[in-house]
């Protein structure tokens, strides 16, 4: 996820302080991985330097002065370009699961046990996401579906790898 583009997009609805940007980001996108304040302010500093945002006002606060950021025309153009550029599909050709399986086989460890443990972990997470989805709003349901579909694909791969394990072991050992 592009943090800078997401923060720029949030600014399109109107100027905001860094605290407001963090709160809105966490509410909409960061439930599982909230932003750190330092990340918000370093990103805003970079966007300011690049002319994509400007400081609309400075207000005294309990601590440091609070800057209110506004998106510039260049920032709006940048967000529009980002939103209309398709994301590159991730083919997962460098999979940690695959690497672990091959290394297990190369070192004489039990590849089937590795696959079983991983399958159990995937199923545990799928149950957790299914519960979260059942109690969530539409946005939460969609992000959970996204994760669940990827986990289902991983499970299919785990099953395929288990079915081909003997052949993989003999090829890896050769």
Amino acid 94: pLDDT: 67
- Contact indicator for 29, 1 with CB cutoff of 8 Å: yes
Residues of the chain with pLDDT below 70 are: 61, 63, 93-94, 174
At 17 the three-state DSSP class reads: strand
The yes or no reply on domain 3-84 and CATH 3.40.190.10 is no
Amino acid 172: pLDDT: 84
The residue extents of the domains of the chain are 3-84, 96-173
**pTM for the whole thing?**
0.71
Over residues 64-99, the pLDDT tens digits come to 778 999 999 999 999 999 999 988 877 776 688 898
DSSP state letter for 36: P
Amino acid 90: pLDDT: 74
Structure tokens at 51: 């002319």
Contacts 24+ apart (CB under 8 A), 157-164: 157/97, 158/97, 158/115, 158/118, 158/119, 158/122, 161/98, 161/101, 161/115, 162/112, 162/115
At 94 the three-state DSSP class reads: coil
Smallest Cα–Cα separation from 13: which of 2, 24, 1, 27? Answer: 24
Q: What gap in Å lies between CA 146 and CA 156, rounded to an integer?
A: 16
């Amino acid at each position: 996820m592009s943090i800078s583009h997401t923060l720029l997009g949030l600014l399109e609805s109107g100027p905001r302080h860094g605290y407001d940007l963090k709160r809105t980001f966490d509410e909409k996108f960061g439930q599982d991985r909230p932003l750190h304040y330092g990340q918000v302010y370093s990103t805003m500093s970079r966007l300011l330097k690049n002319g994509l945002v400007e400081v609309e006002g400075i207000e005294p606060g309990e601590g440091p002065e609070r800057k209110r950021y506004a998106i510039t025309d260049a920032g709006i153009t940048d967000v529009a370009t980002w939103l209309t550029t398709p994301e590159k599909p991730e083919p997962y050709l460098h999979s940690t699961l695959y690497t672990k399986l091959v290394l297990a086989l190369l070192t004489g460890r039990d590849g089937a046990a590795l696959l079983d443990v991983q399958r159990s972990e995937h199923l545990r997470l799928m149950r957790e996401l299914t519960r979260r989805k059942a109690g969530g709003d539409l946005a939460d349901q969609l992000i959970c579906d996204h994760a669940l579909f990827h986990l289902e694909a991983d499970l299919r791969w785990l099953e395929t790898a288990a079915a081909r394990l003997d052949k993989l072991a003999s090829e890896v050992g050769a």
